[in-house]
């Protein structure tokens, strides 16, 4: 069975600070990797995804994530955060060979950006 | 209305009552998923529908939970004899089945008193 760990429950940053949110997964097979974001009062939205190819993936709003297979990690990064990035961020994985994109989610990391 | 919609947005029910939650997926999306999010937890997969194939029910926590989908349209999630531990936000997502991008609805917040 797959599992996803997000080690930071709540991260507080000042505007313009750099961001890195950790995500590690455990699964022996080939995975697809996702980051979803939930802004206050809104529903989950896809931020970026990795299926194959270049392990450095760029998403919306200046976010990027790097898949490091040897470390089973898919950390999310942004060089300079803005107040509008305040949200909850969820890492998720699916089994790329299963035919179903059923997602296994981490517990989420809440990001608070202070103006 | 291009997104996934869910109803009701909030539901308060008494322990032991049955509830029915509805999901309208994005038109043309063949895949539909139900998840639930309990307080302080990540999303848990419940059930997956793909076209007319038999659903993947592997995530349903007990036989009190069931779901139906008619073709590639509306789905309903039914919880019978609700318990307090069923309190959660129930999320529906749909995808085209080829991209893996799941589009989520706003969720139904269920509170069992």
Residue B104 with chain A: CB contacts under 8 Å: 36, 43-45
Residue B56 with chain A: CB contacts under 8 Å: 100, 102
Interval B3-23: pLDDT, tens: 999 999 999 999 999 999 999
Q: What is the 3-state secondary structure (H, E, C) of B50-105?
A: ECCCCCECCCCCCCCEEEEECCCCCEEEEECCCCHHHCEEEEEEEECCCCCCCEEC
Cβ contact B104–A45 (<8 Å): yes
Interval A49-81: pLDDT, tens: 999 899 999 999 999 999 999 999 999 999 999
| Ranges of chain A with pLDDT below 70 | 98-100
What average pLDDT does the structure give for chain B?
Answer: 92
The answer to whether A80 and A14 have CB atoms below 8 angstroms apart is: no
Q: Is the pLDDT of residue B1 over 60?
A: no
| A60 contacts chain B (CB < 8 A) | no
The percent of residues in chain B predicted with pLDDT above 90, rounded, is 75
Q: Identify the band that residue B100 occupies on the pLDDT scale cut at 50, 70 and 90.
A: low
Q: Identify the band that residue B77 occupies on the pLDDT scale cut at 50, 70 and 90.
A: very high
| B89 contacts chain A (CB < 8 A) | no
Q: Is the pLDDT of residue B98 over 70?
A: no
B65 CB neighbour count, 10 Å cutoff: 18
Residue A103 with chain B: CB contacts under 8 Å: 33, 35, 43, 45, 102
């Amino acid at each position: 069975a797959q599992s996803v760990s997000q080690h930071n429950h709540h991260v507080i940053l000042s505007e313009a600070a750099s961001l890195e949110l950790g995500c590690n997964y455990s699964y022996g097979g080939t995975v697809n990797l996702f980051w979803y974001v939930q802004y206050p009062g809104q529903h989950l939205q896809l931020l970026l995804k990795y299926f194959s190819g270049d392990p450095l993936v760029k998403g919306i709003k200046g976010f990027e994530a790097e898949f490091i297979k040897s470390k089973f990690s898919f950390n999310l990064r942004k060089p300079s955060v803005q107040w509008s990035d305040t949200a909850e961020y969820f890492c998720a994985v699916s089994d790329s060979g299963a035919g179903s994109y059923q997602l296994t989610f981490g517990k989420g990391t809440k990001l608070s950006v202070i103006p | 209305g291009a997104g996934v919609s869910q109803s009701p947005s909030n539901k308060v029910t008494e322990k032991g009552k049955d509830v029915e939650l509805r999901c309208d997926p994005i038109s043309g999306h063949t895949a539909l998923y139900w998840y639930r999010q309990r307080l302080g937890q990540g999303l848990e997969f419940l059930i997956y529908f793909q076209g007319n194939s038999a659903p993947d029910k592997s995530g349903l926590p007990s036989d009190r939970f069931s779901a139906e989908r008619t073709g590639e349209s509306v789905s309903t999630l039914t919880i019978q004899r609700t318990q307090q531990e069923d309190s959660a936000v129930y999320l529906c997502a749909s995808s085209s089945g080829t991209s893996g991008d799941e589009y989520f609805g706003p969720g139904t917040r269920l509170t069992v008193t």
